[in-house]
Chains A and B, each alone.
Chain A
Amino acid sequence: MNIVTCIKQTFDTEAKIVIDNGQVSTQGVNLIVNPYDEYAVEESIRLKEKNGGEVVVVSVGGDKTQEALRYCLAMGADRAVLIQDPALEQADNLGCAVAMAKLISQMEYDLVFCGKEAVDDGAAQVPSMLAEKLDLPQANVLTALEIADGQATATREIDGGSEVLEMKLPAVLSAQKGLNEVRYPSLPGIMKAKRKELKVVSLADLELSAEDVAAKTELVAAELPPARKAGRVLSGEIDEMVAELVSLLKDEAKVI
């Protein structure tokens, strides 16, 4: 069973976000593999360990992104492909999806695995875009997965419950927290990762032009969420406080 696992390198979830000139500054920020993508990598490796085949991790990014791919190789993925091109530096989700779909379409695979969303932009678009571009069925936000006889039984989180989908492979799946417990790369894994193949390809290698991946969306502004205001402690008689609380929840917080 051959699996293509798409990952994104993102900020460490504890990184302090700084806006500089209307852009999120990457200065001095620790970069990690997007945590939801780690679940996808883990699930892919488990499927490979059970069924054989190989796991290829794929990403769009720059020089630093190699480190994220190498981390996945240390976890146990077999090889990696990085799509790196100046034209992709300003790409939006669609541009990345177009490039990855083109790459994946040239590979032999049974499954494409992603994280449900990236923790940086939280767009959750790429898995569905990939499914559309590759003309494959999709199941997103998975908390459980079973694969047998070329068929996937995927449990996905929906509002207030869960939904079980069955589909024929190949398909595009995306992982939610809880799908599995992510392993740490072992020390021998880290050593082996150094010798595994990490191929860098350009848009030209994929027979794509800059126009094919040009951004269709524009980042208009980036700003930090407003600082949280201090809480309020009500005082007085209990009846008065209840009345005041109800009116505050209704008129100020507008939650009831």
Chain B
Amino acid sequence: MDFSYTEEERMMLQMTRDFAEKTVKPLAVESDREHKFPRDTVEKMAALGLMGVTVPPEYEGAGMTNICYSIAVEEISRHCASTGIIVSVNNSLACEPVKLFGTEAQKKKYLADMASGRKLGCLGLTEANAGSDAANVSTTAVLDGDEWVINGQKIFITNGNEADYCILIAQTDKSKGHRGLAAFIVDLDNPGFKVGTLEDKLGIRGSSTAELVFEDCHIPKENLLGELGKGFKVALVTLDGGRIGVASQALGIARAAIEDAAAYAKERVQFGKPIANLQAIQWMLADLSTEYDAARLLTHRAAYLKDQQLPYSKEAAMGKLMASELAMKAATKGIQILGGYGYTTDYPMERYFRDAKITEIYEGTSEIMRLVVSANILR
């Protein structure tokens, strides 16, 4: 077993850590408080190649490994989880399905646009009655001559209000259940599309979460992504990859909480000595650091398997489950270590706490992660 990074991975770590510290961190507070999408940062990240990390260079991506991708999302999320998920969604949920299921023409246009960062992508899967039960999609796509006509609403769509393209999962034959689903690429510059409600969220407030409304939205026939009836598979495969991204985001939040708590504990003096000298604090930090390393190894194993084109669904679920629950725990303990200060907005710990929660929910809840893992070991 080899736990060392390649030169490329070390460089990625150094570059993204530096970039996140200097460029992402200074905007994180305002982005969170004002619900402000960090558009400038997205443009800078696009110029560096971060919007299409694993996309091959012929489609304007960087052609790097999933481990590099995981490193990048973690380092960015260390300072701003909102920025982290914007990157993750574009890479995992928008670029990846086109890379895996797209035609050459679709890749040349849509994949290249999103991987280069010229356009931003999102995934339209969740609906009011189709969350964990992803097969229960009721948005419809009906073929009318040379066009598909789409009707329905999607909710909780990350990047929704900012995206140019949407990978949409819709029903083409209701009678077939999940076998009646198909995936489409929708250019959102379309008179049949509008953004509905914008969510006011507990955390990741710098990211955009929107309702997407399709009313007689006509798209070209050739924008079907993959085969008819395979939309459910596109969604599941896409989410498997997305879990590496969300796990990495959770790792970034967890590390932020652990590092900040440790720094505070060394400075804060009570009973005449720094609280870091107290075993109660030491053990909290020791447990968190141990779990952080474990979650990171699980996540990188999933990324490694994906790079080797081996099955990684169970491993990605394990990584996301552990990393997201750790993020929540680290932020909870982090606030405990900071005491009253941790509860105020004077320190970013309360933001880590609010940001952490979503990682246990989106792209598969912790319950669905346990379902995926158990289904794999009990079959």
Contact = CB atoms under 8 A, between A and B. Distances in A.
A185 interface: yes
B10 interface: yes
A67 B9 CA distance: 12
A124 interface: no
A49 B57 CA distance: 22
Contacts of A193: 11
A154 B348 CA distance: 44
Between A74, A185, A186, A190, the greatest number of chain B beta carbons within 10 A of the residue's beta carbon is seen for: A190
Given A191-B8, A191-B62, A186 B14 contact: no
Nearest to A66: B7
Interface string A178-190: 0000001111101
Interface in B178-221: none
A70 B49 contact: no
Between A70, A184, A186, the greatest number of chain B beta carbons within 10 A of the residue's beta carbon is seen for: A184
B85 to A, nearest CB: 19
A187 B12 CA distance: 7
Interface in B313-369: none
B19 interface: yes
B303 to A, nearest CB: 16
B222 interface: no
B10 A187 contact: no
B64 A187 contact: yes
A190 B12 contact: yes
Interface residues of B, number: 19
B18 interface: yes
Which applies to chain B's interface (DSSP): helix, strand, loop or mixed?
A: helix
Contacts of A188: 49, 57, 62-63
Contacts of B50: 187
A71 interface: yes
Interface in A198-250: none
A186 B57 contact: no
Q: Give the size range of A's interface with the partner.
A: 10 to 19
Given A184-B48, A186-B49, A71 B62 contact: no
A186 B18 CA distance: 12
Contacts of B57: 188, 191
B91 to A, nearest CB: 11
Contact of A190 (B8, B18, B19, B47): B8
Nearest to B53: A187
B15 interface: yes
A74 B62 CA distance: 13
B49 A67 contact: no
Interface in B271-290: none
Given A184-B18, A187-B62, A74 B49 contact: no
Contacts of B12: 187, 190
Contacts of A186: 47-49, 62
Which applies to chain A's interface (DSSP): helix, strand, loop or mixed?
A: helix
A186 B8 CA distance: 11
Contacts of A71: 11, 14
A70 B7 contact: yes
A191 B8 CA distance: 7
A194 interface: yes
A87 interface: no
B307 to A, nearest CB: 15
B7 A185 contact: no
Interface in A62-106: 67, 70-71, 74
Contacts of A167: none
A184 B18 CA distance: 8
Contacts of B11: 67, 70-71, 74, 185, 190, 193
Contacts of B48: 184, 186-187
B7 A184 contact: no
Contacts of A187: 12, 48-50, 53, 62, 64, 68
A32 interface: yes
A190 B63 contact: no
A70 B8 CA distance: 10
A185 B62 contact: no
A186 B50 CA distance: 8
Between B7, B18, B53, the greatest number of chain A beta carbons within 10 A of the residue's beta carbon is seen for: B7
Interface in A156-191: 184-188, 190-191
A185 B47 CA distance: 10
A232 to B, nearest CB: 19
A191 B47 contact: no
A191 B47 CA distance: 15
A192 B53 CA distance: 14
Interface of B: 7-8, 10-12, 14-15, 18-19, 47-50, 53, 57, 62-64, 68
3 closest pairs, A vs B, by CB? A187-B49, A187-B62, A186-B48
8 contacts: A67-B10, A71-B11, A184-B15, A184-B18, A187-B68, A188-B62, A190-B15, A190-B62
Interface of A: 32, 67, 70-71, 74, 184-188, 190-191, 193-194
Given A184-B18, A188-B49, 8 more contacts: A186-B62, A188-B62, A188-B63, A190-B8, A190-B12, A190-B62, A190-B64, A191-B64
